[in-house]
Amino acid sequence: MRDPECVFCKIVAGEIPSASVLDRDNVYAFLDLNPVRQGHALVIPKSHYPTLLDLDPGLAADLLRAQQDVARAVMLATGADGVNLGLNLGEAAGQVVFHAHYHIIPRFHEDGLRLWPQTPYPSQDEMNRLAGEIRARLG
C-alpha cells in the first residue's frame, strides 16, 4: 500500500534519499531532516497508513519493537541520557506528514528542552468526570 504523493512512501521506495538507521520487512527508520536534537530518528511502517489509528495491531507491535531497538541505538550512538518517543496524531497535534511515524528524540540531563508544559485540573471532580467520559467511549 503506497500513496504516490507521500514523502515517506517516496523515502521507503528510495526515490528520496534518507539517512537510514534500520530496515526491516515492514518497518523503516531514518534520521529526521530537521532534528530537535542530532540523532532524532523517525520510525515508520513501510506501507502507507495516514495515522496511528489506521495501523493494525500486528504492525503496531512491530513498530514498538523497532522503537525499542532504535531508542537503544540512538542513546548509545549519541551518548544521550534518555529519549522522548513522540507521535503527532492529527493536524492539531502537529502532524505534518500523514504517513504514521514515531519520533525518537535524544535527551540529555539539563538540555533545557521542555516538551510537555502541564497544568493541573481545576478540581478533582472535573478530573474524575473526564475520566468517566473517556472510559465510556472505551466500551
Interaction between residue 88 and ligand 5GP (CB under 6 A): yes
Which residue stretch of 28-36, 46-54, 71-79, 105-113 sits at the interface with ligand 5GP (rule: CB under 6 A)?
28-36
Which residue stretch of 73-81, 90-98, 117-125, 127-135 sits at the interface with ligand 5GP (rule: CB under 6 A)?
90-98
Catalytic pick among 40, 48, 99, 101: 101
CA–CA dist 111, 103 (Å, integer): 18
Long-range contacts of 20-28 (CB under 8 A, 24+ apart): 21/70, 21/73, 21/74, 22/66, 22/69, 22/70, 22/73, 24/62, 24/66, 26/59, 26/62, 27/62, 27/63, 27/66
The distance of closest approach from Cβ of residue 33 to ligand 5GP in the complex, given in angstroms and rounded to an integer, is: 4
The alpha carbon dihedral of 98, 100, 106, 109 has a sign of positive
Q: Is 101 a catalytic residue?
A: yes
The distance of closest approach from Cβ of residue 93 to Zn ion in the complex, given in angstroms and rounded to an integer, is: 18
- Contact residues toward ligand 5GP (CB under 6 A) are 7, 16, 18, 30-34, 42, 88, 94-97
Active-site residue list: 101
